[in-house]
Structures are given as C-alpha cells and as structure tokens.
Amino acid sequence: MVDCVVKNWEGEEVGQATLNLRVAKEESAAHVVHRSLRLQMANNRQGTASTKTRSEVRGGGRKPWRQKGTGRARAGSIRSPLWRGGGVIFGPKPRDYSHKMNRKEKRLALSTAFQSRSEDLTVIEDFGEQFTKPKTKELMQAIARWGVDTEAKILLVLPEKQENVYLSGRNVAKLKISLANNLNIYDILQADKIIATATAIAKIQEVYGNET
C-alpha cells in the first residue's frame, strides 16, 4: 500500500490518495514484468523484413565461364552469395514475432510495474475544466508547478479523453498522454515521471486493486 499526496491545479497539497494494487511476489516480480515488457515489444514488431536467396535473385541461370582452363575460381552462377548482387545467406524472411501471455499474469505485471513507480508518481486533482481551449504553455506551466521537471519523459494519465488537454500536450516531444483504462507496461517503465489525476488513480485502483 502506498499513500500519495494529491495536489491541486496551483500545486498545493490538498489531500491524499491510496494506491493498493495487486502485485507479484518480490522474488518473481522482476521476471513477470520483464515477460510482459518483452511480450509488448515483440508483438509490436512488424516482421516484414525480407531478403532474397540465390534462387530468388533475378538472373544467374548461365554458368559465367567454363569450369576449367581460365585460371579463375570455379563459378556456377553470378547470383552466388559470394558475388556482388548475389543472394543472401540466412537473411531475414517475413515472420510472426508475437507470443502469448496469460491475461491474469499480464494484468499482474502492469499493476506491479505501476506500483513500483510510486516514488515517481504525482497525483493531481482533475483539471480538465481549466482548459476551455488547447493551451500548451499553460499545461507545461502547471506541470512545473506540480514539481515535475518539464524536460523529463512524462506520462500523463487521465480518467477519460479530454480533447483540450490532449491537444495541449500532443506536440510536446517528451509528454505521453494515456487513459487509465489503456495503460501499457512500456509507457509506465519508460517514463521518468508519472502524473495521474485522482479520478484516474481511482479507476486504476478499481481495476487492479488488491482484494482485501
């Protein structure tokens, strides 16, 4: 169980939020999180890299010179992998890199990873009403008031899509905006700092909360 300070729009402490998620046992937590991260990265691979073998390269049907008498090395095709323009030995072919993971184990890995980042987590009161129109400068100023380095990689977790907040942050290179019901383990681990609204924390707690 982790207690987090809740800040308001101005950066003042106004309360506390509790994060009590189902997490893996200490001895297996790193393994579970690593498996889930590897799964996501593997499943994102397109697997479309392709090269041609000597049988697929155009040309090379005729023996370039006779077997003996020329003083040169024997050659049967100008498309040999030893020749420039020839085929590729053991080159990549289209393949499926994806693999599967138990759904409960995947959810356990995500909740374990999120709770492990509690020291880098900043909880904020819902601030969607502050944006009547997109304003990147105001969002970055607010992030600074909340005590988060604006040069760091930041993951902003919202309870639901808020168009003006999204439009305010989409052109900030190191800011990633995600919804509470659409979190993924790569974004959680990659971010230097995580900012989440109190409502988003409540949603995460509802889905991944510890059953006690």
pLDDT digits (tens, 9 = 90+) for 142-183: 999 999 999 999 999 999 989 999 999 999 999 999 999 999
Q: What are phi and psi of 122, to 5 degrees?
A: -120, 125
State whether 32 and 82 are in the same domain: no
Residue labelled with tokens 């890299």: 49
Query: Do both 69 and 115 map to the same domain?
Result: no
In this structure, the answer to whether residues 171 and 142 fall within a common structural domain is yes
Predicted confidence (pLDDT) per residue in 43-99, tens digit: 999 999 999 999 999 998 899 999 999 999 999 999 999 999 999 999 999 999 998
Task: Please indicate, yes or no, whether residues 53 and 140 belong to a single structural domain of this protein.
Answer: no
What average pLDDT does the segment 131-151 reach? 93
Domain holding 19, by residue range, is 2-45+99-208
CATH number at residue 150: 3.40.1370.10
Q: What is the mean pLDDT of the chain?
A: 92
124 and 147, same domain (yes or no): yes
Residue 134: its pLDDT value, please? 92
- pLDDT at residue 54 in the model: 93
- The model's pTM: 0.82
Judgement on whether residues 166 and 106 belong to the same structural domain of the protein:
yes
Considering the domain architecture, whether residues 80 and 172 belong to the same structural domain is answered as: no
Domain count, the chain: 2
pLDDT band at 212 (very low <50, low <70, confident <90, very high): very low
Q: State the greatest distance between any 2 C-alpha atoms of the chain, in Å, as a whole number.
A: 92
What pLDDT score was predicted for residue 211? 56
Contacts of 42 (CB under 8 A, 6+ apart): 97, 98, 99
Q: What is the pLDDT of residues 182-199, one digit of tens each?
A: 999 999 999 999 999 999
Q: Tell whether 160 and 112 lie within a shared domain.
A: yes
